[in-house]
Amino acid sequence: MKKTLALLVFAAMIFSAGCGQTPKPVEDTKENANAAVEKVEQKVDETKKDAANKVDEMKKDAGAAADDAAAKVDETADKMKQDAENAANKVNDKVNEIASGAANKIGEMKTTRDISLGGIMPGIAVETAKSTLSNPVETNGDTLRFKNGLVVEVENDKVEKITAKTDDVKTAAGISVGMSEYSLNNAYGRADDVDVSRDKVEYTYYSDDKKSKIEFESVGGVITEIVAELND
């Protein structure tokens, strides 16, 4: 009986110990776990803050880069605009220079246009023409034909008309029969008159005083006859 009572008392003591306070090792484990959770949460907060700061820095860097890029674009655009304006000014200056030179050349051509053919001019004395060309090889009334093929018509002892149909005779500008009609532009400039017929074209250039003229007959683009005469 005593043994049974002792066993009951011992069992009650064990039961009481099992249902009472938590053993110390378990309490330590809970505290450690809570501390670990707090550290993790703190670390998460720090990481979030760092990430937010880095994002802000990246935004600032991106904004600065965008501003720099925009500034460079503006600078490049301004430079291109300035270069284009400078190029346009140079082109305009060159065009004006060429135009001025062309105008001067045309002016010189107009003021120095020589209507002579074969070394003689319409309006000179016939004796002067003979001394320049030597005596004619043929005389038919008032028409004289010289050795070089030049035909001179005379009126009142003055040269009225000079005709060349061979390449032995040149004008003062170096034009002769057989040359291209395009050579006239370089020698005399634009013709004062152009007469176009079915089979030929006639280009006329007047002297500065309009008292004489020289005419070039062209067939198929080739000069076939040159006539210098007084402009009656």
pLDDT tens profile 34-54: 777 788 778 878 888 888 888
Give the total number of structural domains in the chain: 2
Does any domain span residue 158? yes
Q: For the chain (length 232 residues), average pLDDT per consecutive 10? A: 52 52 62 77 81 83 83 85 86 78 54 83 94 91 93 95 95 95 94 94 94 96 96 83
pLDDT value at residue 159:
95
pLDDT value at residue 103:
56
pTM of the full predicted structure? 0.52
157 burial type by CB count under 10 A (0-12 exposed, 13-18 middle, 19+ buried): exposed
Last residue of a domain, one of 112, 144, 168: 112
pLDDT value at residue 104:
57
pLDDT value at residue 140:
93
Residues 9 and 103 in one domain: yes
Rounded CA-CA distance 169/147 in Å is 10
Domain carrying residue 108: 1-112
Last residue of a domain, one of 50, 85, 112: 112
pLDDT value at residue 110:
45
Residues 62 and 138 in one domain: no
Rounded CA-CA distance 190/206 in Å is 11
Does any domain span residue 117? no
Residues 94 and 146 in one domain: no
Residues 80 and 131 in one domain: no
pLDDT value at residue 128:
94
Rounded CA-CA distance 56/103 in Å is 69
76-86 pLDDT, tens digit each: 888 888 888 88
Residues 161 and 212 in one domain: yes
Residues 133 and 85 in one domain: no
Tokens for 90, please give them. 């140079």
Does any domain span residue 19? yes
Residues 135 and 224 in one domain: yes
Q: What is the chain's percent helix, strand, coil content, to nearest 5?
A: 50, 20, 25
CATH of the domain at 180: 3.40.33.10
Does any domain span residue 121? no
In angstroms, what CA-CA distances link 116 with 54, 106, 154, 158, 177? 94, 19, 15, 14, 15
pLDDT value at residue 111:
44
Residues 196 and 106 in one domain: no
Sheet containing strand 143-145, strands side by side: 138-140, 143-145, 151-155, 158-164, 222-230, 212-219, 201-206, 193-196
Last residue of a domain, one of 112, 143, 166: 112
Residues 3 and 102 in one domain: yes
Rounded CA-CA distance 190/36 in Å is 105
